Amino acid sequence: MEQKTNYLKLITSPLGKENPITVQVLGICSALAVTVQLEPALVMALSVIVVTGFSGLIISAMRNSIPLRVRIVVQLMVVSALVILVDQLLQAFAYQMSKKLSVFVGLIITNCIVMGRFEAFAMMNRPWAAFIDGVGNGFGYGLILIVLGFFRELFGSGTLLGIQVVPQSWYESGYENNGLFILPPMALILAGIIIWIQRSRNRSLIET
Amino acid sequence: MKKNFSNRYIFIYITVLVIVIALVLSLAATLLQQRQDDNRKIEKMQSILRSAGIESSVENAMLLYQKYVTEELYDEHPVYVTQIDNGRIYIFPLRGKGLWGPVWGFIALKEDMNTVVGITLDHKGETPGLGAQITTAEFQNQFRGKKIFDDRGNFVSITLVKGGAGNFSGNRKHAVDAISGGTLTSNGVTEMLFSNLLMYEPFMKERLDRLAAPDTVTKQDTAEEVTPAYRQYRSDTVDKPQTPSAFITDTPKKSVRQQSVPEQEQQQQTSPVSAADTFQKMPEQPVPQQQSNDSQQSDPEKQDVYLDTAAEVSETGDTGQTTSKKENSRKRRSNKKQVQADEE
């Protein structure tokens, strides 16, 4: 049942044709919330990579002992523990950032990507493969987050990572920041555009 | 792999899992507690220093703070005083409600207790890009040089005005631009400035009196001027406690308990004294009765008496109410340390 796994593919496929956000359409909520600026998007991506990776590892190691009837409860407990750990570490070592991300780190618990990967992969694969799969999916999620954060901060605030990018002379000649980019709907529209581009280039992704 | 597990197995499995996770998390929380508290303390020091115009980094904040800032107490509420070349600066803590959660900060006033030197604001979870703009330098720099009292000495506070300070009905020097798209946060900040500064108004008047030569006429004036703003505020806020003394002592305590202690802290607090206390020295033990009766005298009728005693204190030197309060608070603090040590 557990054949040889292609680790490279586990990392690369979530970036493209199995991307959790654009193809599986999971984890949209936090993608809207933390991508107003690039920096929180980066830290959020990193946190999700850590959580998905290690929770996959743990769940997969436990998979033969987990009673199926209560597996969701067990999965939730493991994820919650990891998320709280990440939150505590952020508060201790990256205090400013943990304040910026506020509730959204805690909300990784409810991120569908994590549970989705348990059900689809970690419950029936070896720990190491599950770890790689989790990290890969974290990357896939983080990639979209960073793209969204980049465009939203650039057009919404004229900055990148908090540094002014749009020159002052533009503002003087009538350029204005687009307020729509700061609001959550723009993240959905941007994600929609990414999905559109991706599917027009790879027609096998189009559902009929 | 698809075994049928008995109910007993499931119960034991879940119980063990819960215990293991609880142990891991409490271990992590205990190990990281010190660091997190330090972070909070340093952040608070930095924002106090920044409000007085002193820039600090995470590394030197502690040193600069010890060098410049001394703490005083007014009715259990802290006031921070810095002595820089061009005079004293008084820094008052602020706490209030934004749109999604608490907002807080520090406002620094010049010795005249009127001109704003600077302000620092922070929040728990205002909308990024909108309400969260209150933390930006552009927004906070607007407050520099604004006044909280009008020319006749009436308390007016500073208002965040929608559409720009130009739309303010009163004098421009009491208004700053609100944040577009962050109206509710802006209103929260306005309300926070008003209620917190109003609470400190007696302290300000007392210090001003002490600064100027004690003069009966001015004392009368200030005593009368304190009350109208007070009554106004009381009639505006129906749901607040009715007596002024209750307002002064109760409201801030409640607000501290409800808003300013982030949820995280509440969860991982291993001892009842820690993070909450670093911000505001709230006595967990009851204050000696005599003391609290004394300090609650801000009844309009008793205002005169209060100011009189304050003036006497200033005449007889610095060994008065304030010093004894300081000593009391120090005692309380050391008590708490004792408690903490005992628990450990």
Helix (DSSP H) and strand (DSSP E) numbers for chain B = 11, 7
User: What is the model's pLDDT at position B18?
Assistant: 92
**Residue A65 reports pLDDT greater than 50:** yes
Binned at pLDDT 50, 70 and 90, residue B243 comes out as very low
More confident residue, B10 or A3: B10
User: What is the model's pLDDT at position B238?
Assistant: 43
**Residue B65 reports pLDDT greater than 70:** yes
**Residue A52 reports pLDDT greater than 50:** yes
**Residue B261 reports pLDDT greater than 50:** no
Helical axes B321-343 vs B303-316, angle rounded to 10°: 90
B28 with A85: Cβ contact below 8 A = yes
B9 with A67: Cβ contact below 8 A = yes
Three-class SS of residue B50?
helix
Which residue in the set A66, A84, A95 is minimally distant from B43, CB to CB? A95
User: What is the model's pLDDT at position B16?
Assistant: 93
Number of cross-chain residue pairs from A and B with Cβ atoms under 8 Å apart: 70
Place of tokens 């509440």: B266
User: What is the model's pLDDT at position B232?
Assistant: 53
Three-state SS annotation for B241-309: CCCHHHHHHHHHHHHHHHHHCCHHHHHHCCCCCCHHHHHCCCCCCCCCHHHHHHHCCCCCCCHHHHHHH
Interface test with B, best of A64, A75, A90, A95 (most B CBs within 10 A): A95
Distance from CA of A33 to the nearest CA of B (A): 9
User: What is the model's pLDDT at position B277?
Assistant: 43
Which residue in the set A67, A88, A102 is minimally distant from B5, CB to CB? A67
Contact residues, chain A, for B36 at CB < 8 Å: 88, 91-92, 95
Contact B62, B54 (CB under 8 A): no
Binned at pLDDT 50, 70 and 90, residue B224 comes out as very low
**Residue B202 reports pLDDT greater than 90:** no
**Residue B217 reports pLDDT greater than 60:** no
**Residue A77 reports pLDDT greater than 70:** yes
B40 with A77: Cβ contact below 8 A = no
Question: To the nearest whole percent, how much of chain A has pLDDT over 90?
Answer: 1
B13 with A87: Cβ contact below 8 A = no
Q: Is A184 on the interface with B (CB under 8 A)?
A: no
Distance from CA of A18 to the nearest CA of B (A): 27
Contact residues, chain A, for B24 at CB < 8 Å: 81, 85
Which tens digits make up the pLDDT trace of B268-301?
444 444 444 444 444 444 444 444 444 444 444 4
Distance from CA of A203 to the nearest CA of B (A): 37
Place of tokens 């999971």: A26
DSSP annotation of B99 reads S
Interface test with A, best of B19, B20, B32, B133 (most A CBs within 10 A): B32
Three-class SS of residue A78?
helix
Q: What angle do CA B252, B104, B167 make, to 5 degrees?
A: 105
B13 with A88: Cβ contact below 8 A = no
**Residue B343 reports pLDDT greater than 90:** no
A69 with B10: Cβ contact below 8 A = yes
Domain map of chain A by residue range? 22-150
**Residue B222 reports pLDDT greater than 60:** no
